[in-house]
Amino acid sequence: MATPLLEVADLACRRGGRRVFERLSFSLGPGELLALTGRNGSGKTTLLRALALLIRPDTGSIHWQGTDVAAEPDAWRGRLAWLGHLEGLKADLSVAENLLAAERLRGAPPAGDRLDSALVAFDLSVLARRAMRTLSAGQRRRTALARVVLTQAPLWLLDEPLNALDAPAQAAFRGALASHLASGGLAIAATHADLGVAGARTLELGEPQKASA
């Protein structure tokens, strides 16, 4: 078994004053997907937000390659690609402008061919100059997924990534996820759907917290 890149130990978090999970521990190595399952309100989104340092856990630690991520938050965020329920896209910017703006905020080098590849992967090339406010929910979701791919971040944190996607877009996402994992990337996804990854591990929140192989 490969040495873990990500190690989470004894994590506990609250939402609305109520503890939604505690004593949560797991580790992930290169090429692994952890699917977060459980009923609505079980803490899937809360866990993703804690991993992204968007909220502070009550207890526990998150280590990347042996280093506590809280000690180097900016470096940690640079290793993440985040997809939440809200796409976080600017309505008056075009598809391409949104993707390029996200890359500039990350301090990434000019996207160039990477941008073209991300647009092609999610069938967005013909929409590249369209303002986000003119697009459907599915097209906006595809843009947000293209942004994830464009980052080339080692860890993807995904909250219901298949929301609003039609069958071809779901297939495109599954292909992008498979490529990411095959290249040694990691992903953690809250999902009620099959993400199409053979051997994916699962963590059911609301139950005794132990990630299954």
State residue 56's pLDDT score: 94
pTM score of the predicted model = 0.93
* CATH code of the domain covering residue 22: 3.40.50.300
How far is residue 198 from each of residues 35, 93, 132, 171, 178, measured CA to CA in Å? 12, 37, 34, 15, 10
State residue 15's pLDDT score: 87
Q: Is residue 201 in some structural domain?
A: yes
Place of tokens 């992204």: 52
Mean pLDDT of 21-31: 96
Q: Is residue 113 in some structural domain?
A: no
Mean pLDDT of 12-22: 91
Mean pLDDT of 32-51: 95
Name the residue range of residue 15's domain.
1-79+156-164+186-213
Q: Is residue 121 in some structural domain?
A: no
Q: Is residue 56 in some structural domain?
A: yes
pLDDT at 161 over 60: yes
Q: Is residue 14 in some structural domain?
A: yes
Q: Is residue 47 in some structural domain?
A: yes
pLDDT at 163 over 60: yes
- The per-residue pLDDT for range 99-132, each reduced to its tens digit, is 999 988 887 776 678 899 999 999 999 999 999 9
pLDDT band at 2 (very low <50, low <70, confident <90, very high): low
Is 120 in contact with 65 (CB distance < 8 Å)? no
Q: Is residue 52 in some structural domain?
A: yes
Q: Is residue 123 in some structural domain?
A: no
Rounded percentage of the chain residues whose pLDDT exceeds 70: 95
- CA–CA separation, 117 vs 124, rounded Å? 10
- CA–CA separation, 26 vs 150, rounded Å? 27
State residue 206's pLDDT score: 82
Rounded percentage of the chain residues whose pLDDT exceeds 90: 83
The count of structural domains within the chain is 1
pLDDT at 185 over 70: yes
State residue 3's pLDDT score: 81
